[in-house]
């Protein structure tokens, strides 16, 4: 297990989650790649996206099938929302884009969870690298991330 993945395993263990982290030879960097590697569907993939709310980082755990509506995030937070760049993502979460896990960050980030994830029995999130994921019940994901379930998807 690579060190970044080991850190996620330890963070999950601290939350009482015995996660079966799966590492793949092929990339799980995007939701589509992760779904293909796992053999599941894109909406069951958890995207871990860092936004800046008046420059304070927040973590959005979004269904792989949805685009995040930043206007909804602005109404939720009352702050101006923009995307964090790759360097800021790494600074705030301790992980690189494509591997950002929902827990195990150096500081506490406010977390919003896409309520669409809650309809599934199991969803899959990144586990530290663009080659590792783990399954978790979405309600458990809400609990361990300290997240607030919200409607944040762009209307299509």
In DSSP terms, 68 is beta-bridged to 153
Nearer of residues 16 and 65 to ligand 5CA, judged by Cβ: 65
Least distance to ligand 5CA from the beta carbon of 29, Å? 5
Q: Is 49 in the site for ligand 5CA (CB under 6 A)?
A: yes
Residue 90, SS3 per DSSP? helix
Choose, by CB under 6 A, the member of 8, 19, 58, 97 that binds ligand 5CA.
97
Q: Is 29 in the site for ligand 5CA (CB under 6 A)?
A: yes
Q: Is 152 in the site for ligand 5CA (CB under 6 A)?
A: no
- The residue range among 1-9, 30-38, 114-122, 142-150 that interacts with ligand 5CA, by the rule CB under 6 A, is 30-38
Choose, by CB under 6 A, the member of 4, 8, 37, 47 that binds ligand 5CA.
47
Cα–Cα distance measured from residue 4 to residue 21, given in angstroms and rounded to the nearest whole number: 12
Q: Are 122 and 137 in contact (CB under 8 A)?
A: yes
Instruction: Name, in order, each residue with C-beta under 8 angstroms of 56's C-beta and a sequence gap of 6 or more.
Output: 79, 110
Backbone angles phi, psi at 45, to 5 degrees: -90, 135
Burial class of 143 by CB neighbour count within 10 A (0 to 12, 13 to 18, 19+): middle
Q: Binding-site residue total for ligand 5CA (CB under 6 A)?
A: 21
The C-alpha torsion from 121 through 30 and 114 to 129, rounded to 10°, is: 80
Least distance to ligand 5CA from the beta carbon of 128, Å? 10
- The residue range among 15-23, 52-60, 92-100, 146-154 that interacts with ligand 5CA, by the rule CB under 6 A, is 92-100
Pairing of strands 111-114, 56-63: parallel
Binding site for ligand 5CA (CB under 6 A): 28-31, 34, 45-49, 83, 85-86, 97-100, 125-126, 130, 133
């Amino acid at each position: 297990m690579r060190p970044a993945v080991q850190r996620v395993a330890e963070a999950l263990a601290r939350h009482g989650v015995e996660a079966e982290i799966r590492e793949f030879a092929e990339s799980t960097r995007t939701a589509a790649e992760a779904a293909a590697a796992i053999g599941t569907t894109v909406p069951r993939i958890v995207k871990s996206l860092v936004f800046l709310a008046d420059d304070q980082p927040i973590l959005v755990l979004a269904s792989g099938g949805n685009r995040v509506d930043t206007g909804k995030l602005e109404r939720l937070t009352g702050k101006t929302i923009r995307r964090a760049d790759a360097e800021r993502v790494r600074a705030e979460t301790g992980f690189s884009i494509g591997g950002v896990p929902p827990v195990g960050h150096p500081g506490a980030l406010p977390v919003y969870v896409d309520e669409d994830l809650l309809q599934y029995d199991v969803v899959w999130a990144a586990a530290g690298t663009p080659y590792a994921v783990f399954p978790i019940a979405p309600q458990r994901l809400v609990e361990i991330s300290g997240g607030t379930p919200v409607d944040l998807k762009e209307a299509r």
